A and B are shown apart, each in its own frame.
Chain A
Amino acid sequence: MGHFRLGRLPGTPKWTHVVDLIVSGADAPAVALAVLSASQKEFETAAQDSILGYTTWLLTQIPLAAKGREFSEELRAKGLQLFHSPTLMEVVGAFTATVDAYADQQKSRSDIGEMAQLSAVESLTSLIGEKTGSLLGATPEDNQKALGSFTTKKNFSLLTQEFFARFLRRYLSYFLSRELSNHVGPNRRFANIYEHLEFNRALDLYCHQVTRIVKEFAGYWFTEANYNGGINLSKARIFTFEALKKIKDELGLDNGSNG
């Protein structure tokens, strides 16, 4: 009984321009900029999404709890249903369930919020998988140590960049995936599925490059905010807003340089 409900891009001139760029063979950054330009209002509104802000806050709490002596207890205090010495899969499972519960409670589930919570667990999975070398084979202690390492200025910057890069990538894919498959085949933009995959990888890279601007200030913000009374939801929301604003400025969305 599984269904997928597929959509289409709107037929406005800006979205038509996106399609034209895909057809004409424009590179991933040019297409990405056109998507962000066509959806500028939505991108700006995203910064105010309550689930996005909550997800960012919860993401900051994982490393802080991991640095403490009572990892699972500290996480339970944040709402994560965990037992003693949790594995990474248990942490990300509880993370998702906690954000889901918050969204249900607030009645504020949204597509942006979904993208945010998925980006958060994917960031944790990716970085911890790299650090421990074995996602499912690492011990709970290894995972806790790896998670705790994100409390340093440098490593928190990495985690934050990964999160916003994945969020931006999901945001772009939310729109582009409605169109890109249509351009696969001989004498089309992508000769085959593999060229489509290559384009997707170029988008990944672009999102990581664009979000370097977040990396530059995230570590500083984290240590300062944590030192000055801890990171609460309000501070995390302001940080999220600022991060997306910096990304937007980096892209030059306000000055029309995106065409």
Chain B
Amino acid sequence: MNLLGEHQNIILKIQDISARFIANIEDVFVDLLEIASYVYCADQVVTRGGKTDPNMGANWRRNLRFQIPVRRPDVWASPEVSQSLVSTLDFLSDDHHYSFSFKKLEKPPPFEQYFEGIGDPTLEPESIVLFSGGLDSLAGAIQEAVIEKKQVILVSHRSAQKIHSKQLNLVEALARYCSGPRPIHVPVWATKHGDFGRETTQRSRSFLYAALGATVAHLFDIPAIRMYENGIVSLNLPISGQLIGARATRTTHPRVIKGFNKLFSLIMDKPFQVENPFLWETKAEVVARIAVAGCLDLIKDSVSCSHVMGMTTHHTHCGKCSQCIGRRFAMLASGNAAYEPQEIYKVDLLTGAREALEDKTMLESYARTAIQVANMTETEFFSHFGEGSRVFSYLEGTSNEIATKILDLHKRHAGQVCGVIEEAIKNHAREILEERLPPSCLLIMALPEEYRRSAELPVSEMDKARNVFRQEGDFWRIIYSGENIALIKDAKGLRYIAHLLRLPEQKIDVMELFAEFEKIPAVEQGEIYRGMGQEQLADEGLRNFPLAGNEQIIDHRAMAEYKQKFLELEEDIREAENLNQVDRAEALKAEKEFLIKQIGAASGLRGRIRSIPGRKEKIRKSVTNRINDSLKKIQERHPALGHHLRISIKKGSSCSYFPEKPTHWEV
């Protein structure tokens, strides 16, 4: 990877800072920028193994080795700096190991080439805020620029043009609320050439972001930067069992923040602070801060969504990612939803359908975790979120004080999320009752049992003796003795069982049972199967099914059709002979002869249908296997019903349902 020269494939440009300040830059900060850029880009080059995480996520953690020429190898190779850098990155990105080898950069290029634009040489900033353009960083900027009237520099990582434009508009709008100095926007363009990035997780991005902020802070001799992030996202306790390690990002985790503090202090050789003033606030509380500042109108211009590529003019938020979910909950919980048009979300938080697996998992897990946390005791909370123990050592205060704050923060957040859901269920009651909401939307998934319609409720006293075996779409609803047992996915065996339950105490020929669900005359089945491969035939339970025409299955109905055709042919032949149509008569006779052969092949003595034992045996086996498969599924779900059906259903050349005592089924 190269930041400079003819093989350059990484771009780093810090914009709009005056040359007067650029002259202040120390070599070690140019090194820091370059190291952070290389780490950020390398993180995107090496894959982490894909979504199935094979071999227990063995590929998730990588070994990343860097050889970087620097201006100050004496600083970077020192054990303390090196250890601090590696330890912070290891935890931040959850990789096996980062290792760095630093050597002297013999001919350092002028650092001015990393800077472009003309900044104000008279600036006297008081604060450096990292500004993503999302809600939290907006609230931070408002806090400093509007409420505290500070001269603030807002440092942004310019990763995509769409986001950059939004950030510019937002800073312009923010400036209109400032009665003190205008905020100064410093976008930093750090990106790689598109052709060598494969991994999109970008867990090390906040190192680049913090390094950019620290460098700008250094230029203005300010000993701190602020990364405003609400506590729920900062601690980012996992909402799902699959989120091991940094699969839940650690962007502003207290250990990472402390790591940045130590690293930047070491390379500056004086104390430096990375701060997150919103650590103990929920996002709804952050929005409330914006409201108190009278800046709610700015919210519509902020962008929190992580799916930048899918952003359109009308839909600036996908509505599906965790950022969109957290943002919309916060807006609703704080009572400020009116300050962002609902239409900015491509999918509505509460009533939008979520069909993709990850989208549904994200929202269901988010809401389920909140519902759980709302009802947890302190012991249950910390017994569930062991990750919480990773925070204690990295914050000021005793562990008990920190634990109390963590618990309180998450309880408040859970209450806010549950409050939004409860309120929305009330507000959408009619749509729920009329089944106008998509089944995969949050309100339907979160609808408590007691509010469900009668069909979903536990069976009433009157229905205690009810037995139901009914197909509902792709599933079968089964109720036995009034007990709602299961929705089981449709299968042929269930259809056979339902047919037998519909006709209790009747013997049904297996051929008839088989043909019942094929919806075609049995005589045509051979033709249907002719087009199938052996695999498909096996799937139909007809392994090695012979396909020759004279082996076709023929039943009474087919025989009657043959005879009717025979009579019609005889009449047509007579008519053709009377009209002296010789050719037509010959053709009809040939057809009649063929038909006689067909009937003869399928008939025994005196015209009885010839039995075809091999074929019937195969079908018998197929039907038996299908019924057994379905009985097994029922048995797993409800042993008593499984037992009842096993002893009551007879399988073989004829099938039947003979219950020990009369049992009525609604089928």
Contact = CB atoms under 8 A, between A and B. Distances in A.
B257 to A, nearest CB: 13
A24 B361 contact: no
A194 B447 CA distance: 9
Nearest to B50: A7
Contacts of B63: 107
Nearest to A203: B241
A109 B244 CA distance: 11
A77 interface: no
Interface string A111-138: 1101101111111011001100011100
Interface string A169-200: 01011111111011011111101111111000
Contacts of A177: 240-242, 361, 365
Given A26-B636, A181-B360, A107 B240 contact: no
A185 to B, nearest CB: 4
A89 B242 CA distance: 25
Interface in B12-53: 51-53
B541 interface: no
A68 interface: no
Interface in B376-417: 377-379, 382-384, 386-387, 389-393, 398-400, 402-404, 407
A118 B57 CA distance: 17
A187 B475 contact: yes
A76 B234 CA distance: 30
B58 to A, nearest CB: 8
A239 to B, nearest CB: 21
B97 A182 contact: no
Contact of B392 (A25, A89, A135): A89
B445 A184 contact: yes
Given A5-B201, A92-B389, A187-B473, A192 B445 contact: yes
B316 interface: no
Q: How large is the interface on A (under 10, 10 to 19, 20 to 34, 35 or more residues)?
A: 35 or more
Contacts of B245: 109, 111, 114
A119 B449 contact: no
A125 B389 CA distance: 10
Q: Which of A27, A81, A118, A119 has the most CB of B within 10 A?
A: A118
Contact of B399 (A93, A179, A196): A93
A125 B379 contact: yes
A30 B635 CA distance: 11
B303 to A, nearest CB: 12
Given A24-B489, A181-B361, A187-B475, A135 B378 contact: yes
A7 B399 CA distance: 33
A111 B389 CA distance: 17
Nearest to B252: A1
Interface in B334-392: 357-358, 360-362, 364-365, 367-368, 371-372, 377-379, 382-384, 386-387, 389-392
A193 B51 contact: no
Contact of B378 (A8, A118, A129): A129
B73 interface: no
A4 interface: yes
A76 to B, nearest CB: 14
Interface in A152-174: 170, 172-174
Q: Which of A8, A104, A111, A177 has the most CB of B within 10 A?
A: A111
Nearest to A89: B399
B393 A118 contact: no
B656 interface: no
Contacts of A57: none
B362 A96 contact: no
Given A24-B637, A194-B449, A4 B489 contact: no
A108 B238 CA distance: 22
Contact of B400 (A3, A89, A118): A89
A231 interface: no
A93 B368 contact: no
Nearest to B60: A111
Given A109-B96, A112-B56, A191-B452, A81 B362 contact: no
B97 A107 contact: yes
Contacts of B249: 1-4
Nearest to A97: B393
Contacts of A60: none
A6 B386 contact: no
A87 interface: yes
A125 B377 CA distance: 12
B486 interface: yes
B55 A42 contact: yes
B393 A187 contact: no
Interface of A: 1-10, 20-21, 23-27, 30, 42, 45-46, 81, 87, 89-90, 92-97, 100, 104, 107-112, 114-115, 117-123, 125-126, 129-130, 134-136, 170, 172-179, 181-182, 184-189, 191-197
18 contacts: A1-B251, A2-B249, A4-B248, A4-B362, A10-B52, A24-B488, A25-B633, A89-B398, A93-B392, A93-B393, A111-B60, A114-B244, A125-B383, A129-B378, A129-B383, A134-B378, A177-B242, A178-B242
Given A90-B400, A104-B97, A178-B361, 12 more contacts: A1-B134, A4-B362, A7-B51, A21-B636, A25-B488, A109-B94, A110-B56, A110-B57, A182-B360, A187-B487, A188-B439, A194-B449
Interface of B: 51-58, 60-61, 63, 87, 90-91, 94, 96-97, 132, 134, 201, 205-206, 229, 232-234, 236, 238-245, 247-249, 251-252, 306, 321-323, 326, 357-358, 360-362, 364-365, 367-368, 371-372, 377-379, 382-384, 386-387, 389-393, 398-400, 402-404, 407, 439-440, 444-449, 452, 456, 472-475, 485-489, 633, 636-637
